[in-house]
């Protein structure tokens, strides 16, 4: 009987100690948890206590933290967020690059916010990727141009001229109706050109006009070979 009473007392004391240790959360803790669960809706935090921000902002992503800083007006959050941005820089670009940036700032005696360094690094990577893509496009164009230059190019067929060559070439024999007369006239003109003096240049216009007797003799001379 006594053992049962003793065990009950021990159990009550243990439960009482557990209740004392697990105290209910305060109103501030509940507010902080609520804000952390809804960080995507958080904007201007200019009037928020720095201690609360130190508990809330470490739970932000890169985009959320950037949005909060840009939305906050009239207050510089760098004292709270600078270490957070340094952690983001280290996770994104590596510990080696982070140390290198620190060394360069110390050597030059300058200091930049880690949020600025993070954005500048992203722009450098974006520009490098763009240049690499442009080089790939240029190489592709050059390769395609070389392939096209090696291909056989089809030439368009030029249609023949519709202008018919006049009978007699450069000699004006259009006033003669008979083809035999025209041929005889042309032969007479050609013989006249051959007999021209080398010292005096022949005048083609003067050779165009031979007498009808000369043309008749040329026809007779031509007919001798026919009959």
* Cα 211 from Cα 154, distance rounded (Å): 55
Judge whether 6 lies within some domain.
no
Tell me how many helices (H) and strands (E) the chain has. 10, 0
Judge whether 46 lies within some domain.
yes
* Cα 30 from Cα 52, distance rounded (Å): 12
Q: Which domain holds residue 184?
A: 179-226
Judge whether 39 lies within some domain.
yes
Orientation of helix 95-108 relative to helix 78-93, angle to 10°: 130
* Cα 88 from Cα 94, distance rounded (Å): 9
Give the per-residue pLDDT at 210.
47
Give the per-residue pLDDT at 18.
53
* Residue 110 parent element (H or E): none
Could you read off the pLDDT of 98-108 as tens digits, one per residue?
999 999 999 98
Which tokens go with 42?
């958080």
Domain end residue (candidates: 55, 75, 95): 75
* Cα 33 from Cα 24, distance rounded (Å): 14
Whole-prediction pTM: 0.52
Question: Total domain count for the chain?
Answer: 3
* Cα 186 from Cα 174, distance rounded (Å): 11
Judge whether 89 lies within some domain.
yes
Q: How many residues does the chain have?
A: 227
Give the per-residue pLDDT at 82.
95
Q: In terms of domains, do 91 and 35 share one?
A: no
> Which among 85, 73, 87 has a CA at the least distance from the CA of 43?
73
Low-confidence ranges of the chain (pLDDT < 50): 1-2, 5-6, 19, 164-168, 197-202, 204-210, 224-227
- The residue assigned the tokens 């967020």 is 81
Helix residue ranges, H only, 151-211: 179-194, 204-207
Give the per-residue pLDDT at 84.
95
């Amino acid at each position: 009987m006594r053992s049962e009473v003793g065990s009950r007392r021990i159990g009550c004391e243990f439960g009482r100690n557990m209740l004392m240790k697990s105290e209910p959360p305060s109103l501030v803790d509940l507010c902080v948890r609520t804000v952390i669960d809804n960080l995507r809706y958080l904007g201007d935090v200019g009037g928020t206590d720095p201690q609360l921000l130190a508990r809330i902002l470490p739970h932000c992503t890169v985009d959320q933290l950037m949005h909060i800083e840009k939305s906050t007006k009239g207050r510089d959050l760098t004292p709270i967020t600078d270490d957070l941005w340094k952690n983001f820089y280290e996770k994104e670009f590596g510990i080696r690059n982070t140390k290198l940036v620190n060394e360069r700032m110390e050597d030059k005696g300058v200091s930049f916010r880690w949020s600025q360094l993070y954005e500048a690094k992203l722009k450098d990577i974006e520009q490098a990727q763009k240049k690499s893509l442009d080089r790939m496009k240029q190489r592709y164009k050059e390769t395609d141009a070389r392939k096209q230059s090696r291909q056989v190019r089809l030439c368009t067929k030029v249609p023949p001229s519709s202008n018919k060559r006049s009978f007699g070439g450069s000699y004006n024999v259009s006033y003669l109706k008979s083809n035999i007369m025209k041929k005889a006239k042309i032969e007479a003109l050609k013989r006249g050109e051959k007999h021209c003096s080398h010292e005096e240049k022949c005048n083609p216009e003067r050779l165009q006009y031979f007498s009808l007797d000369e043309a008749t003799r040329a026809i007779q001379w031509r007919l001798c070979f026919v009959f």
